[in-house]
Amino acid sequence: MNFQEGLIAAFSVVASLIIVLVVVCLGWYLVWKLFLSRFKLVRELLGLAQSTDSPTHSENLSGDAGSGKARNARKVRRD
C-alpha cells in the first residue's frame, strides 16, 4: 500500500464519520423540533425550561364572561 492509497483510506474514514455526525445531528434537531420540545420534563433536563410559565394565549382579565374571546380561547396543554 503506497502513500496515496493510505491517504484515500484515511479520507474515506473521516468523511464517513462526518456524514454520520451530520445525519445524527439533523435527526436530533428534527425530533427536538417536532416532538421533544413540547415536554416540560425534557426541557428541564436540558436546562432550557423558562423561568415563568406564561400562557401563550392572552387571558380575559376584564371579567366579561359573555365575551366571544373567553369562550373561544384555546386551552394550552401543560405537561
CA distance 45 to 51: 14
> pTM, whole model, 2 decimals?
0.50
- Written as tens digits, the pLDDT of the chain (79 aa) is 799 999 999 999 999 999 999 999 999 999 988 888 888 888 888 887 665 554 554 444 545 555 555 556 677 778 7
Residue that is written with C-alpha cell 380575559 in the block: 60
Residue that is written with C-alpha cell 421533544 in the block: 36
pLDDT of residue 11: 97
Residue that is written with C-alpha cell 451530520 in the block: 22
CA distance 35 to 13: 33
